[in-house]
Structure 1
Amino acid sequence: MSFALEVLISVLLFAGACFALVGSIGLARLQDFFMRLHGPTKATTLGVGGVIVGSIIFFSNQGQGLSLHELLIALFLFITAPVSAHIVGKAALHMQLACEERTRNVSWRDGKKNSD
């Protein structure tokens, strides 16, 4: 394996790990449910995607050909994560979960813009 390919794989794995870490920290540290929903759906999806792309490049270079398993994992992840986040968000709105006033700068209860 060439040095440039090893560097590319390492960068993809490191970037994926950083995105997953930021998404996990966001899930733990943000204030309300609607803010916490962004951590696992946005950053962690990109993180796992980076790790999967690095894995595809690594195993394709090992002479085993393009791995269909990893492509299916990436496809399943990129389809299901936004859909599940949308469903969970709509359920939270339907249940009228409490949220921080600064989440959207608009109160969802009365539809009026909040003053800063």
Structure 2
Amino acid sequence: MTPEATGVDAVIDVVTAVFLVVGALMSLGAAIGLLRFPDLMSRMHAATKPQVLGLFLMLAAMGLQMRTWWVWPVLVVAWIFQLLTAPVSAHMVGRSAYRTKHGHRELLTKDELEAVVQRAAGDGSTPDA
């Protein structure tokens, strides 16, 4: 092996280690936020925002460490599915919590969903938003 290849391998290993540590810390922060935050809305934030970035860093570290091109499309697809499903599920949980009065409405600065819920309750149909 040439010294240049060894240097490149060392750089890739350091970048991989940094991505793994930062990704693990982001995921740990998400888990701690789920346990420690006081209300549902802040717990949803903790479950989605840092977890998606943490997963991205972990997948990028895995792709760098594998050092083959064929693994990257699989990792990108896994991250895209997570990126698409985490916000949608958090949105649905948030709407459900709002409708069942499990959220703290006094913590909201602007309540945009109240009019939609009242309109839906008044005419018996489900809202579009």
Relative to the length of structure 1, the TM-score reads 0.79
Q: Which residue matches 2:28?
A: 21
1:75-86 to 2 correspondence within 5 Å?
75-86=80-91
Amino acid at match of 2:69: G
Gaps of 5+ in 1: 111-116
Structure 1 window deviating more from structure 2 (64-73 vs 83-92): it is: 64-73
Report the 3-state secondary structure (helix = DSSP H, G, I; strand = E; otherwise coil) of the residue aligned with 1:37: helix
Shift of 1:31: 0.5
Shift of 1:19: 0.4
The structure having more radius of gyration, on CA atoms, is: 2
Would you say the 8 A contact 1:12–1:51 is kept in 2?
yes
Relative to the length of structure 2, the TM-score reads 0.72
1:96-111 to 2 correspondence within 5 Å?
96-99=101-104, 101=106, 103-105=107-109
What do residues 13-63 of structure 1 show as CA deviations (whole Å, max 9, x unaligned)? Answer: 11100100111101000111111111111111111111011111211x1xx
CA RMSD of aligned residues (A): 2.2
Amino acid at match of 2:56: G
Identity level (%):
28
Structure 1 window deviating more from structure 2 (66-75 vs 92-101): it is: 92-101
1:53 to 60, 69, 72: 60
Counterpart Cα distance in 2 of 1:8 and 1:66: 20
